[in-house]
Amino acid sequence: MVDRFCTKVGCSRDAVSTLTYDYADSMAVLGPLSLAKEPHTYDLCSIHAERLSVPQGWQVIRHQVLNS
């Protein structure tokens, strides 16, 4: 697997999450790192994923993997 890095400018940490925006529904969806890099998505490191903020009135959906 090719290394994937955080897409935030100036960040060189490994990506752990993928962010997708749904502009029609004013929603941001943050989930586990996607299997492949897709256009119109953003890969984020753990720090930037945790600090994610969205415009007022938007909803954030966070999908997490549960370890058993």
Q: 10-residue block means of pLDDT along the chain (68 residues)?
A: 87 97 97 93 97 96 79
For residue 2, the model assigns a pLDDT of 64
CA 67 vs CA 8, 24, 46, 48, 64: distances in Å: 27, 32, 17, 22, 9
Q: What is the pTM of this model?
A: 0.86
CB 34, CB 2: distance < 8 Å: no
Of 31, 27, 35, the C-alpha closest to 1 is 35
